[in-house]
Amino acid sequence: MSTTSHAVTIEADPTVPIIRMTRDFDATPAQLMRAHTDPDLFARWVGPDGMRTTILDWDATTGGRWRYVAGRDGEEYGFHGCFHHVGEDRIVQTFTFDGQPDGVALETLRFEDLGDGRTRLHAQSLVDSFEGRDQWLASGMETGVEEGYAKLDALIAEL
C-alpha cells in the first residue's frame, strides 16, 4: 500500500454543536477498526507528535470502557469514556477530557469502504453546547488530529 498523504476535513455544524471530521486512508475498514480498538496500536498513533500515550483501562467492546493518559514534558492529560457500540465498521463512544469533566462528547466513527484497500473515516463529536464545541476547535485539536492520523498512516503501512 502507498503512504499517500491525506488531509483531514474538520467542519463545525452551524445548527447543532457537532464537529465532523472526514479523512481517507490507504487501509481497509478492518485495519482502521483494529487500529482504533487494539490498545497497543491505538497508543502508538493517537494525538500530536511527541505525546506519549499510556493506556490505563481498555475494553473495546459494546458496553466497555476506556481510559488513557497522554503526556509530554512533565505534563499529563487524562481522557476517558465508554464504548456504547463497537460494530464491524462503526464505533459509538463517549469522550471526556479529565480537565473538563462536565464536557462529555458523544462520538461516532464510521469506516466507509472505498474499495481497493482504501477507507474513508467519518467521525463526529456531539458536545453539549456551541461554546464547548468552539473551545474544542480553538484548543489545537486540528494539529493533534492531523499528526495522529499521519502516525496512523505510518503504522498501517508498517503492519
Domain ranges of the chain: 9-158
Place of cell 474544542: 136
Tell me the pLDDT of the chain averaged across its residues.
Answer: 94
Q: How far is CA 116 from CA 29, 46, 50, 97, 119, in A?
A: 11, 25, 32, 36, 9
User: Which of the two residues, 144 and 35, has the higher pLDDT score?
Assistant: 35
Is the pTM value of this prediction over 0.85?
Answer: yes
In three-state secondary structure terms, 90 is strand
Tell me what percent of the residues of the chain surpass a pLDDT of 90. 86
Region of poorest pLDDT, from 59-73, 88-102, 133-147: 133-147
CATH topology of domain 9-158: Alpha-D-Glucose-1,6-Bisphosphate; Chain A, domain 4 (3.30.530)
Query: Coil, strand, or helix at residue 104?
Result: coil
Q: How far is Cα of residue 45 from the mean position of the Cα atoms in its chain?
A: 10
CB 79 within 8 A of CB 96: yes
pLDDT at 4 over 80: no
Looking at 37-41, 58-62, 141-145, which range is the least confident one?
141-145
Please give the residue that has the higher pLDDT: either 138 or 34: 34
**What is the per-residue pLDDT across 75-123, written as a single tens digit (0 to 9) for each?**
999 999 999 999 999 999 999 999 988 889 999 999 999 999 999 999 9
